Amino acid sequence: MIKFDKTAAYIEDIHNNTEFKPHFHQTYSFALITNGSCIVEFKNKTLNYEKNDFRIINPNEIHLVKSGIWEYKSIVLEKDFVNQITFEIASAKDLNFQNKITSNEINTLFCKMYNKNEEAVYFFFEKLISYTQEIELPDIKLKRSIQLIDENFTQKLDLQTLAESESLSKYHFLRLFKNQLGLTPHQYIIVKRLNYALELMKKENSLSIVAVSAGFSDQSHFIKEFKKVFGFTPKH
């Protein structure tokens, strides 16, 4: 039997006209809208979610949440854990699920999983595998700069260095990066640092240590950027 991911986050919350800046997660985020409505904007589409709609944010999927008053239940799962399950079920990994699903069966299985019914985990993903979508990969020209950021995002990286890694001018690189990823290089670095900070916060109680370790100048800078992207201040 598949066991629960010990790092899973179970969230029940209400957002009242809270807007989230463009960002992405390293994890899968599964959420059932239990009341109200919200708008989520992805790179090439905008989706409206209402009560009983099921919302999925895949790893590294850039999105922003526009205003709305909505309540939801959410489970955040590590990518490795989801890969373990989908590989066991269908010999498939790194699946990109549809962002919006309307299915009473999915909702029922999710609620059982939310209540930590271990059997429901398997059946939830067995059903979910039929709801996949194509992945839009970044332009191959950007692979070197993305790798450079991914390996050094806690360090200082300037636009000139990133552009030179692609043999492009600063402004050509900036335009291409924004068009391909939906974020500027600076925004991408900030979100990488924030996601890393979230991981550090699972083990470290000091926000000042987390801030500096993740590449922010100090705790104040970290909190400011965190609230700007996620709409609330970091908590333990």
Least confident range of 32-41, 154-163, 223-232 = 223-232
Instruction: Please state, in angstroms and rounded to a whole number, the distance separating the CA atoms of residues 45 and 49.
Output: 13
3 occurs within a structural domain: no
- Whether residues 121 and 19 share a domain: the answer is yes
- Whether residues 35 and 84 share a domain: the answer is yes
Domain encompassing residue 105: 9-128
Residue 1 has pLDDT above 50, yes or no: no
Confidence of residue 2 (pLDDT cuts 50, 70, 90): very low
- Domain tally, the chain: 2
Residues for the chain: how many in total? 236
60: left (phi over 0), alpha (psi -120 to 50) or beta: left
Instruction: Look at 117 and 148; give whichever has higher pLDDT.
Output: 148
What 3-state class would DSSP assign to 1? coil
Instruction: Please state, in angstroms and rounded to a whole number, the distance separating the CA atoms of residues 233 and 201.
Output: 13
Residue 140: what pLDDT?
Answer: 61
- Whether residues 74 and 182 share a domain: the answer is no
Secondary structure element (H or E) that encloses residue 224, with its range = helix 219-230
DSSP state, residue 141:
G
User: Per-residue pLDDT tens for 97-121?
Assistant: 999 999 999 999 999 999 988 889 9
In CATH, what number is assigned to the domain containing residue 224?
Answer: 1.10.10.60
Residue 38 has pLDDT above 60, yes or no: yes
At which of 98, 128, 158 does a domain end? 128
Instruction: Look at 150 and 139; give whichever has higher pLDDT.
Output: 150
Confidence of residue 3 (pLDDT cuts 50, 70, 90): very low
Question: What integer best gives the mean pLDDT of the chain?
Answer: 88
In CATH, what number is assigned to the domain containing residue 124?
Answer: 2.60.120.280
- Whether residues 197 and 123 share a domain: the answer is no
Instruction: Look at 140 and 199; give whichever has higher pLDDT.
Output: 199
93 occurs within a structural domain: yes
- Whether residues 93 and 114 share a domain: the answer is yes
Residue 31: what pLDDT?
Answer: 94
- Whether residues 24 and 84 share a domain: the answer is yes
- Whether residues 148 and 172 share a domain: the answer is yes
Residue 80: what pLDDT?
Answer: 92
Average pLDDT over residues 25-33: 94
